[in-house]
Structure 1
Amino acid sequence: MKSKMFISAALACCLICTVFFATAQSAAQPYRTGAGLLIDVGEGVTLVGPHVKHFFAPNHAGEAALLFGGGVTSLQAMYQYNQPIGELNGLQWYLGIGGNIFFEEDVDATFGIVPAAGLDYKIAKAPIALSFDWRPKFLLYDGDSEFLAARFGIGLRFTF
């Protein structure tokens, strides 16, 4: 019951944020490609590894990561819709959706659906971008499923 209420509240929050930020003025992305380190923390095991974010168009980006931790290897890819926040140069909000595959020794692969809502900030006059997002995971394995709501991503990228 609590998880259904949490999911409903999270979806309502995402909808409100989308409507609120839909009026944001579109502008060119502050960088084209960034590569660096992603830390995926929260409920469950902490994962760390390289990741890349690339803008295909001013508001549309793809992100890929290869993460390791606690005997688990995770490969994930995500589409992200980005919008600048008002007049704050380099600061954007984004919503994304993607998938991941978890590999663990002596265990079948676990597949997951990963939505994301977060902020991306490109530091002016420096080739560095930072990101923070909420990325809950819906995991599917062996005919069962699991929802990890308390998952967050922290990214540090060198931009070019």
Structure 2
Amino acid sequence: MKSLCKLVILTTFFSLSNNVNAQDYKTSLGLGIDFGTGSTMVGPSAKYFFTKNSAIQGDVLFGGNSTLIQAFYQHHFPVIGAPTLNFIVGGGAGIELYNYGSTVLLKPTAGLEYKIKEAPLAFNFDWRPTMFLLDGAIEPARFGIGIKYTF
């Protein structure tokens, strides 16, 4: 009986999650903010879905006398019961350019994205712990916020 109940619950979960689209847009452009330990960086951000659940996002951010160029792969998972809210997991790499040099960094990401159903707007909030490859430093308290126009 317990096995049958587990099977029914799992079947219901997967059938519900497969019937919900992860996103109802293909491309977005907007403003990205990367903040936390260290400087706050602000600049343009773009996202493109190449499958229903897989996207690439690119940012060019400015702040703290430096420029941060980064790109992320993101996989979107629909939140059951909230059709325009998605979990996001992924990661990416970037390069930070400053007065006397540059550094390469890696950023795993996890967060949420909310698309307003009646308007062409999407909002995201994610955690982006940053690992600086050249000097071995880690900034675990880094976050991203974005507001995007979707089309």
Q: 1:110 aligns with which of 77, 80, 103?
A: 103
Q: Does 1:119 align with 2:115?
A: no
- Residue 131 (str. 1) matches residue 124 (str. 2): yes
Matched, 1:155 2:149: no
Give the equivalent residue in structure 2 for 1:59: 53
Return the offset for 1:124: 1.1
Tell me whether 1:101 sits opposite 2:95 in the alignment. yes
For 2:17, give the aligned amino acid: Q
Q: 2:36 aligns with which of 24, 33, 42?
A: 42
State how far apart, in whole Å, the 1-side matches of 2:89 and 2:35 are: 18
Which one-letter code corresponds to 1:123 in the other structure? I
Query: Equivalents in 2 of 1:30, 1:148: separation in Å?
Result: 33
Question: Structure 2 counterpart of 1:122, which letter?
Answer: K
Number of equivalent positions? 136
Q: Determine if the alignment matches structure 1 residue 31 to structure 2 residue 22.
A: no
Q: Aligned AA for 1:136?
A: P
- Pairwise CA distance, 1:87: 2.0
For 2:7, the equivalent position in structure 1 comes to none
The letter for the 1-side match of 2:148 is R
Gapped regions of structure 2 (runs ≥ 5): 1-12
Identity %: 43
Which TM-score applies when normalising by structure 1?
Answer: 0.81
Q: Give the aligned CA root-mean-square deviation in angstroms.
A: 1.4
Spell out, residue by residue over 1:14-65, the C-alpha distance to the aligned partner (whole angstroms, 9 max, x if none): xxxxxxxx95713322211111000101001100000011111011000000
Runs of 4+ in 1 over 4 A off after TM superposition: none
| SS of aligned partner of 2:136 | strand
**Distance in 1 between residues matched to 2:126 and 2:78, nearest whole Å:** 15
TM-score, with normalisation over the residues of structure 2? 0.86
